[in-house]
Structure 1
Amino acid sequence: MLPSTLAAANFTAFQRTIPSLDIVIFSDGSRLIDGRAGGGYIGIQAHYQFLRSSLSYRHGKEVFNIEVEAALADAQAAIAYPTAQFATNLWICLDNLEVIMHLLSPSTGSSQEVFESFHTLAAAWLLRERLPHTKSGSIQIRWVPGHTKISENKVADLAAKEGAISIPPSPYKSSYASLKRYAKTQSLSAAQTRWQTIAPQTYQDLEITTSPKRPRELQLNRLDLDCIIAARTGYGDFADYYKRFNHDDAYLLCQCRA
């Protein structure tokens, strides 16, 4: 049995052990090629789908941030729903392991504010209105294998894609991770544009472009770097060659006059 098939079978077997009155949420995020992003979730209780929602974020979120915010939104919806008084536990199932690791533990990375809101909400589950015989329970996070034949997860994925193509409410916030990626992309583009205007003609003739990272070779001293360049290009020391064959009109110095 393939690992993904085995994981799906294990999750399905676990799902059967969840009491029918507990609420089970399937949550997912989606990001299209053009950068539009969306989240979605469905809620199941007593074998009945009672929640379904799509969330739109346009270009302002990464998939990680989307899935965090979708988890918070679906937990808020489940707690507010009248049938939460019958449920002992709230199960949130998603396929992003990194998000799962942070949902119920301290986080200092992207979407920190959303994680803190989720932690507060997890405590609020204990204080919800419930029937006398219903235990306080807790919010449980469970990994569900993605891209397998788990029907509920496929419906949540479809809801997320619907959110990605819909128009988001205005105004909406961009995540830190999304802004960081945008700034990096813009800085690289600006560097390439600037290089085209200041690059020496000799570099332009050879179509030498700039790079976002400084090559490690440039940290070497000039003598060692000279040897590496000679070995890579197959050419030797031009200055020595010109002197040996009396090329009096040859330019022997580097542009930096060294």
Structure 2
Amino acid sequence: MKKTEEGVDKKSAAQAFKEWWRSQPSTDLYVFSDGSEQSLDNSRQVGYGFIVYQGNKQLASFSAALSPMSHVFDAEALCLDNTSVIWGIRGSAAASSNWAYNRCHELLRQHNVGLKWAPGHMGIEGNEEADRLAKRAVSSTAAPAYGLEATPTVSGVRTVAKQLSQETRRKWWSGACGKLSDWYRGWSFSRPTVEYQVKAPPELTMPRHALHRWLALRSSHGDFSWYHRRFQHADARLTCVCGHNKSPEHLVLCRHSQRHFLHWPKRPAARPHNRATAVAYLGSLTPTDFVELLDCTQFYTRYCTR
């Protein structure tokens, strides 16, 4: 079985399925199924439904809820409505709802059961009825889950673990961020949604010389006049060749740098003219943009040298 009907649109696939169903023996049984996941009163609700036909005659139908700590993938493992689930049933059992996969494997070994994909929401009677049943299973009037269906699944537990991890990280960062200097926190004002991330930031892909400048700008610890004065670096050069004191934002305020903006495709619409506009512009640059800006202006190699 193919995961999808390659080169066939859903309308044509639906018509082909209807013709296939009409051509099948009227004594065979056909089961249409669906799963559903919705949010109800800020709580995730998951359920499934199926309907059984003999030929084109309805014989039975059923719908039920699953544990709120599950996902629609689990509902579709119980009631096949997903090509990835079908492949899981035909191959190795997935970790989530493993017991349902194993029962299907046993059923396939004992009986002559075939699996066939039908495109959803295309007017196929069995599909539409199964969809209605699945939606009823997640309504407020649905009966609660029971047995194995009431137990949390791997996918549901993973979601909860991810949410707890994110919430813990958010709370930690909220406390830690308040202890940072006003200067450092000011760099994220142009991107207020910036949060602490565990994964390696893209800045680490920059060459070391550029990363050094990037970190110095954000920490304000580096070849800057205030820094040299504070630590009494008597031999340090405190000014740029333009005569202004060295500062983190001077990279884009220096008249020598701004002359190079003519050759800088990502130059600001209006040239930075004070600390606030300079920080706003520098804070909007990606690591790649920042490296290109250094190369374009040659600020630290020609004008603001140590």
Q: Could you tell me which of 178, 201, 205 is aligned with 2:180?
A: 201
**Contiguous gaps of at least 5 residues in structure 1:** 72-93, 126-137, 251-258
- CA deviation string 1:41-98 (max 9, x = no partner): 0000132111111110142221111111235xxxxxxxxxxxxxxxxxxxxxx3x110
The equivalent of 1:239 in structure 2 is 223
After superposition, residues 107-126 of structure 1 pair within 5 angstroms as: 107-125=93-111
- CA deviation string 1:104-153 (max 9, x = no partner): 2223443233211111122232xxxxxxxxxxxx1000001012111210
TM-score, length-normalised on structure 2?
A: 0.61
The equivalent of 1:53 in structure 2 is 62
- CA deviation string 1:186-219 (max 9, x = no partner): 1011100111112233354545531253313236
Contact kept? 2:89, 2:101, Cα under 8 Å: yes
The equivalent of 2:200 in structure 1 is 214
CA distance in 2, matches of 1:21, 1:198: 69
The yes-or-no answer on 1:141 pairing with 2:115 is: yes
The yes-or-no answer on 1:39 pairing with 2:48 is: yes
Structure 1 residues 15 and 170, CA, compared in 2 at 3 Å: closer, same or farther? closer
CA distance in 2, matches of 1:99, 1:169: 21
**Contiguous gaps of at least 5 residues in structure 2:** 1-7, 227-237, 249-306
Structure 1 residues 246 and 110, CA, compared in 2 at 3 Å: closer, same or farther? same
Give the AA of the match of 2:31: I
More strand by share: 1
Q: Could you tell me which of 7, 13, 31 is aligned with 1:25?
A: 31
TM-score, length-normalised on structure 1?
A: 0.71
RMSD: 3.0
After superposition, residues 182-201 of structure 1 pair within 5 angstroms as: 182-199=160-177, 200-201=179-180
Q: Tell me: higher relative CO, structure 1 or 2? Use CA pairs within 8 A at least 6 residues apart.
A: 1
- CA deviation string 1:145-173 (max 9, x = no partner): 01211121011001001111224234611
Q: Which has the larger radius of gyration?
A: 2
Contact kept? 1:58, 1:164, Cα under 8 Å: no
Q: How many residues matched?
A: 210
Q: How much identity, in percent, do the aligned residues show?
A: 24
The yes-or-no answer on 1:8 pairing with 2:14 is: yes
Comparing 29-38 with 203-212, which one deviates more in the overlay?
203-212
Q: Could you tell me which of 144, 167, 176 is aligned with 1:168?
A: 144
